[in-house]
């Protein structure tokens, strides 16, 4: 059982720690909104990682071949969604910066925690690399035919916990960044920089495929 726990923790941190477009968007969103919104978004990412870990432990070697035929379209969809989110965030930041100081900014308002959770769950599920990553770990460790259900549950929960802890750490960094850059110009620069990085990483996702 301890082997499944360690393997799950290692797998969860392994997929969560590389900083990509989703992580950048998470930090930027928390900086513009609140810790509560960022934490729910972080849990959305971790939920997707946990679901894919569960799929990998159950399906084993069959998981990767099933996803392979649709990896190309999923990469394009994921990149388009990320670019759209980056553009929306940049446009909202510019509108708020240009609004009169004493007037209420014309913005759609920050997303609710539930909406942030759903958005980040969706964009993470669109990333087929995650399920391929977990499937490769399962197959490589020789546990693809493992019928130890408690062990599979421990692996999945450990992967979720590891991913959640890292994503919450990123959200915390975003909250600290938001408090540090409280002036109008600082928030504008933060939002535009975040949007530019997200766009570049989304393009790289497609180009590198």
Q: What is the pLDDT of residues 89-112, one digit of tens each?
A: 788 778 777 766 544 444 456 689
Angle between helices 21-32 and 35-59 (to 10 degrees): 150
Q: Are 124 and 160 in contact (CB under 8 A)?
A: no
Q: Are 51 and 129 in contact (CB under 8 A)?
A: no
Instruction: Tell me, rounded to whole angstroms, the distance of Cα 33 from its chain centroid.
Output: 17
Residue with tokens 């995650």: 130
Residue with tokens 């915390």: 172
Half-sphere exposure of residue 25: CA atoms within 13 angstroms, side-chain side: 30
Q: What is the pLDDT of residues 159-201, one digit of tens each?
A: 899 999 999 998 998 888 776 665 667 667 767 776 787 688 6
Q: What is the pTM of this model?
A: 0.69
Q: What is the pLDDT of residues 122-151, one digit of tens each?
A: 988 887 666 666 666 655 544 444 556 787
- Nearest alpha-carbon partner for 50 in 197, 179, 160: 160
The domain limits of the chain are: 2-207
């Amino acid at each position: 059982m301890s082997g499944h726990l360690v393997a799950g923790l290692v797998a969860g941190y392994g997929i969560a720690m590389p900083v990509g477009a989703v992580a950048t968007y998470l930090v930027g969103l928390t900086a513009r909104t609140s810790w509560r919104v960022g934490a729910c978004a972080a849990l959305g990412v971790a939920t997707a990682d946990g679901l894919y870990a569960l799929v990998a432990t159950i399906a084993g070697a069959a998981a990767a071949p099933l996803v392979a035929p649709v990896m190309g379209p999923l990469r394009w969809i994921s990149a388009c969604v990320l670019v759209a989110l980056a553009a929306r965030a940049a446009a909202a930041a510019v509108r708020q910066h240009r609004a009169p100081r004493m007037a209420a900014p014309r913005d759609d308002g920050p997303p609710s925690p539930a909406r942030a959770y759903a958005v980040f769950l969706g964009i993470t599920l669109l990333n087929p690399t995650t399920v391929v990553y977990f499937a490769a770990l399962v197959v490589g460790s020789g546990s693809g035919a493992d019928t130890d259900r408690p062990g599979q549950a421990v692996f999945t929960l450990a992967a979720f916990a590891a991913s959640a802890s890292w994503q919450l750490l990123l959200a915390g960094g975003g909250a600290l960044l938001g408090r540090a850059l409280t002036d109008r110009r600082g928030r504008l620069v933060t939002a535009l920089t975040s949007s530019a990085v997200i766009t570049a990483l989304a393009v790289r996702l497609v180009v590198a495929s």
